[in-house]
Chains A and B, each alone.
Chain A
Amino acid sequence: MKTILTGVSALALTASMAFAQSTITIGDQLEPPYLDPTAGAAGAIDNVVYANIYEGLTRFASDGSIIPGLAASWDISDDGLTYTFHLHDGVKFHDGSDMTASDVVWSLNRARAEDSTNAQKGLFAGIADVSAPDDTTVVVTLDAPNGGFLFNMAWGDAVILNEGDDIEALKTHPNGTGAFMFENWVQGDSITITRNDNYWGTPAKLEGATFKYISDPTAAFAAMMAGDVDAFPVFPAPENLPQFDADPRFNVIIGSTEGETILSTNNAMPPLDNPKVREAVSHAIDRNAIIDGAMFGYGTPIGSHFAPHHPAYIDLTGESAYDPDLARSLLAEAGFPDGFTTTLKLPPPAYARRGGEIIAAQLRAVGIETEVTNLEWADWLEQVFHGGDYGFTIVSHTEPMDFGIYANPDYYFHYDSPEYQALMEKLTAETDPAVRTELMQDAQRMLAADDVNGFLFELAKTGVANAKVMGLWENAPTQATDLTAVYWAE
C-alpha cells in the first residue's frame, strides 16, 4: 500500500510540475454555450476562441487598434467600395486542410445570408459581393463606403471557417486556423486547448491552456488563492483586488474595457419619456459613489456612451454632475414635485446588483421610488430587452464602438431621434478619420444632451494573475483572452 501511495503522489507531483511550466489555467465566470463565434454573440465564446482558435481577416490588437490577421495586407479602392485582401500563404486549418480564399468567401457569405444565425449580421449588411480571383486574394465589394469595415472584419463574429465543415459539429469541436487547437470540453466545468504546432504565424509559447468556469465570485477568490487557477482576466469581485495586490504571489492587472455601464432608461415609458425627468435622473446619480460602492473604486466615470480610452472621447461628465437639489427642482419643473415610482430591473452581474441598490437609494433621495427586481439573464432578456417592460435597468454594453444602437428606435432604450439617426448614417458613409472623429464627438454630445440613459462608468478590466504569468492583455478592446503571447517567467 505504501509503495502505491508514494508512487501515485510522485506521479501527481511530476504531473503538476510539468503543468506549472508550460500550461496555464484561466478562470472565467461565464461558460460559452458552444464554441462557434459566428452562430451566437455570447462574449464567453470569444473569450475562448478569439485569436486563440479562430482568426479573421483583420484582428484587434491589445490597444484596440486594427492589425492584419489572416489577410497580410489589403487595398482599398478610391471610392471606398472595393476592398482587396491578400491572404497569408500556407495557412492550414487544425484538421489539416488548407485555408484558401474560397473559405473566406464562404464564411462571409454564410454570415450575411438570409437564414444566417450570426448575431452581428449588421457587420456584414453593407457587403454587396465577395469573390475570390485566386487562392490568396479576396475581393469584397460594398454597397456604400463604410469607414468601419476593417474594424467590422476584426470582430469575433467575422472569423473564417473551413468551407464545408459540419456547422453542428463546429459548435462543440471548433476547427480554426489559430495558434491553439481545441482539445476537450467538460460542459459546465472547463475547456482545454493545446498548441497548434503547424501554426502559420509565430507559435504560441504555452503548450496548452485550460479555461475553468467559476461563476461564483467567492469560489473564484478561493480558486485563485488556492492556486487552482493561474489567471482570472476579468475577476468578478473587485473588493478582493486589494488582497491580491498585497500578496506578492499575484499581479493585479487593471485595464480598460469597451463596457459602457449605463442606467438604461426606457425612453418610451412615461414619465421617463420626458427629457426633463431624464435630466433630473442624471443629476440625481452620484457616479463616484457607485464606482466606489459597487466596483470598489475600479471604473472611469463617463458622461456619454463612449469609451474614455478612445481618441475621439470627450469628457461630458460635467453635463450631468451630481446635484440632487437641481434634480429635485427639475422634477418639480417636469410636474413631479413629489417624485414618482418606476421599476429597476437588475441582471446578475455584481455591478448591476450593487449599483442598482445604490442608485435606488440615490433616486429615493430625490423622490423617485424604484421597485427593485433581481433577474436572471433569461428573465432580463425576456422582460427588459425584448418585452420593454421596465423603467430602469443597469447593464454594461461591452461591444466596441456600439453607439450605433442608439440609432435603432426599436432597441430597448426606445430612443427615437431622427437627428441622431441621420448622424449615424453620415458616420457610416464617412471614411476620412478626422471627419469621423468629429462626427463621433457630435454623437457623444447629442446622447449626453438628450440624457438618453444614465451614463455611469466605463467598466474596468480587473484582472488577477499569478505574478509569473506574462503577456496577458491589459485592456479589453473586445471580448478575448489572447493567449498567443502568454508565457511563464523563468
Chain B
Amino acid sequence: MMRAFKMPGFLIGFILAGIFVLAAAVSFFWTPDAVDTVDIVNKLHVPDAKNWFGTDHFGRDIFSMIMVGARTSIAVAIVAVGIGMGLGVPLGLAAAARKGSILDEVIMRTNDLIFAFPALLIAIMITAAFGASAVNAIIAIGIFNIPVFARLSRGAALSLWTRDFVLAARVAGKSPAHISFEHILPNILNLLIVQGTIQFSLGILAEAALSYVGLGAQPPTPSWGRMLAESQTMVSFAPHLALFPGMAIVLTVLGLNLMGDALRDLFDPKIRRDRA
C-alpha cells in the first residue's frame, strides 16, 4: 500500500481528497464562523481576511459552509457506496458461485434492468416520491451502486472460480459460500477498493447534482450542490458564490479519481508486468 504514495497521481489525489476529508472532520468541532445564523447586513462580501471565501446572500461565511458541506458530500457518498458494496458484492459473489443458475439469472437481469434506467432520473423520482432529504439522496445513489458492484464482483469472481486454488479449496470440501468469503473476496478486494474510490467520487457528483436540483440535503444543512443552486442568480455580480463550492466539488472528485486511477495501475497485474 505504501507503494501507492510513490505514484505522483496517487499523492496529488490523496492530498486533494485529504484536504476535504480533513475539513469535514475539523468542521465537527470548529469552523471559522457559524453556518446556521443569518447576518443579512454582511451579505455578499467579497473574499477578505475575515471571510476567506467571502459571504453568501445571507451573510454566512462561505469557507465555513464549504467545510460543513464537505461533511454532507462525504457522508452521502460514503453511505451510498456502502449500500452498493454491502448489497452488490454478496449478490455478485452469490451469482458467480451459482453461475448459470436461476439465482444468477435473476440477479443479473435485475442488474440490467436497473442499468436501463437513467440514474439521475430515478434519483429524481425517488426523491420526488419520498421527499427531498439527504437520506433519500443516499438511497437513490446507493441503489445505482448495487449493480455496479454486483457486476464487478461477479465478473472478477467468475475468473477466480476457474483458478486452481479455488479447485483446491473445493477438493478440500469447502462450500461455495465458504470459498467465496475465504478465497474470492480477499482477491477481489483490490478491484473493489478501486471501484469504491470511483463510485465515491461519482457519489459526490451525484449528491451535488441532486442538491443542485433541490433534492438533496435540506437547509440549514450546507451542501455544495445547493450552494451552487442558490448562487446561480448571483453569479453575474458575485462570482465567488459559485466559484468556491464548484472548485470544492471539482477538486474532491479529481482527487478521488486520481487516487482510483493510481490504485488501478498499482493493482492491475497487466500494467505491473509492464513495469517489471
Binding site for B on A (CB under 8 A): 216-218, 221, 237, 239-240, 242-243, 289, 292-293, 348, 353-354, 356-358, 360-362, 364-365, 372-376, 379
B218 interface hit (Cβ, 8 Å): yes
B58's contact among A237, A242, A357, A375, by CB below 8 Å, is which?
A357
B234 close to A356 (CB less than 8 A): no
Contacts beyond the supplied A348-B214, A362-B38: 6 A-B pairs with Cβ under 8 Å: A237-B233, A239-B57, A358-B40, A361-B220, A372-B220, A374-B218
| B residues in contact with A357, CB < 8 Å | 38, 58, 219-220
Which residues 229-260 of B sit at the A interface, judged by CB distance below 8 A? Answer: 232-237
A293 close to B58 (CB less than 8 A): yes
B128 close to A356 (CB less than 8 A): no
In the complex, which of the residues B36, B37, B220, B235 has the most CB atoms of chain A within 10 Å of its own CB atom? B220
| B residues in contact with A221, CB < 8 Å | 233, 236
| A residues in contact with B233, CB < 8 Å | 217-218, 221, 237, 239-240
| Complex alpha-carbon distance, A83 and B232, angstroms | 53
Whether A361 touches B38, Cβ cut-off 8 Å, given contacts A372-B218, A374-B132, is yes
B51 CB, nearest partner CB in chain A, Å: 17
B232 close to A217 (CB less than 8 A): yes
Interface readout for B31-60 with A: 1 if CB under 8 Å, 0 if not? 000001110100100000000000001110
B33 CB, nearest partner CB in chain A, Å: 13
Which chain A residue shows the least CB distance to B36? A361
Which chain B residue shows the least CB distance to A286? B40
Question: In terms of DSSP, what is the predominant structure of the interface of chain B?
Answer: loop
A-B contact pairs, 8 of them (CB 8 A): A221-B236, A239-B57, A293-B58, A358-B58, A360-B219, A365-B37, A373-B133, A374-B219
| A residues in contact with B43, CB < 8 Å | 293
| A residues in contact with B128, CB < 8 Å | 376
| A residues in contact with B220, CB < 8 Å | 357, 360-361, 372
| Complex alpha-carbon distance, A379 and B36, angstroms | 25
B40's contact among A239, A242, A289, A356, by CB below 8 Å, is which?
A289
| Complex alpha-carbon distance, A375 and B131, angstroms | 7
| B residues in contact with A374, CB < 8 Å | 132, 214, 218-219
| B residues in contact with A354, CB < 8 Å | 57-58
Which chain B residue shows the least CB distance to A344? B219
Interface readout for B186-204 with A: 1 if CB under 8 Å, 0 if not? 0000000000000000000
B232 close to A218 (CB less than 8 A): yes
| Complex alpha-carbon distance, A243 and B236, angstroms | 9
| A residues in contact with B219, CB < 8 Å | 353, 356-357, 360, 372, 374
B131 close to A379 (CB less than 8 A): yes
| B residues in contact with A379, CB < 8 Å | 131
Binding site for A on B (CB under 8 A): 36-38, 40, 43, 57-59, 128, 131-133, 214, 218-220, 232-237
A39 CB, nearest partner CB in chain B, Å: 26
Which chain B residue shows the least CB distance to A220? B233
B6 CB, nearest partner CB in chain A, Å: 45
| A residues in contact with B235, CB < 8 Å | 218
| Complex alpha-carbon distance, A216 and B234, angstroms | 13
A239's contact among B38, B59, B218, B234, by CB below 8 Å, is which?
B234
Whether A243 touches B237, Cβ cut-off 8 Å, given contacts A293-B43, A372-B218, A372-B220, is yes
A364's contact among B36, B57, B132, by CB below 8 Å, is which?
B36
| B residues in contact with A365, CB < 8 Å | 37
B131 close to A292 (CB less than 8 A): no
| Complex alpha-carbon distance, A240 and B232, angstroms | 11
The 7 closest A-B pairs by CB, nearest first: A361-B38, A237-B233, A293-B40, A218-B232, A289-B40, A217-B233, A358-B38
| Complex alpha-carbon distance, A341 and B3, angstroms | 52
A177 CB, nearest partner CB in chain B, Å: 39
B218 close to A373 (CB less than 8 A): yes
| Complex alpha-carbon distance, A362 and B235, angstroms | 27
| Complex alpha-carbon distance, A371 and B74, angstroms | 22
In the complex, which of the residues A240, A293, A360 has the most CB atoms of chain B within 10 Å of its own CB atom? A293
| A residues in contact with B236, CB < 8 Å | 221, 240, 243
| Complex alpha-carbon distance, A240 and B57, angstroms | 12
Which chain B residue shows the least CB distance to A296? B57
A335 CB, nearest partner CB in chain B, Å: 26
| A residues in contact with B133, CB < 8 Å | 373
| A residues in contact with B58, CB < 8 Å | 293, 354, 357-358, 361
B218 close to A293 (CB less than 8 A): no
| B residues in contact with A356, CB < 8 Å | 219
B128 CB, nearest partner CB in chain A, Å: 7
A238 CB, nearest partner CB in chain B, Å: 9
| Complex alpha-carbon distance, A379 and B215, angstroms | 13
| Complex alpha-carbon distance, A372 and B14, angstroms | 36
| B residues in contact with A243, CB < 8 Å | 236-237
In the complex, which of the residues B128, B214, B233, B234 has the most CB atoms of chain A within 10 Å of its own CB atom? B233
| B residues in contact with A362, CB < 8 Å | 38
| B residues in contact with A360, CB < 8 Å | 219-220
A232 CB, nearest partner CB in chain B, Å: 13
B257 CB, nearest partner CB in chain A, Å: 28
| A residues in contact with B218, CB < 8 Å | 372-374
| Complex alpha-carbon distance, A37 and B43, angstroms | 41
Which chain B residue shows the least CB distance to A292? B40
Which chain A residue shows the least CB distance to B236? A243
A361 close to B37 (CB less than 8 A): yes
A156 CB, nearest partner CB in chain B, Å: 30
| Complex alpha-carbon distance, A293 and B56, angstroms | 10
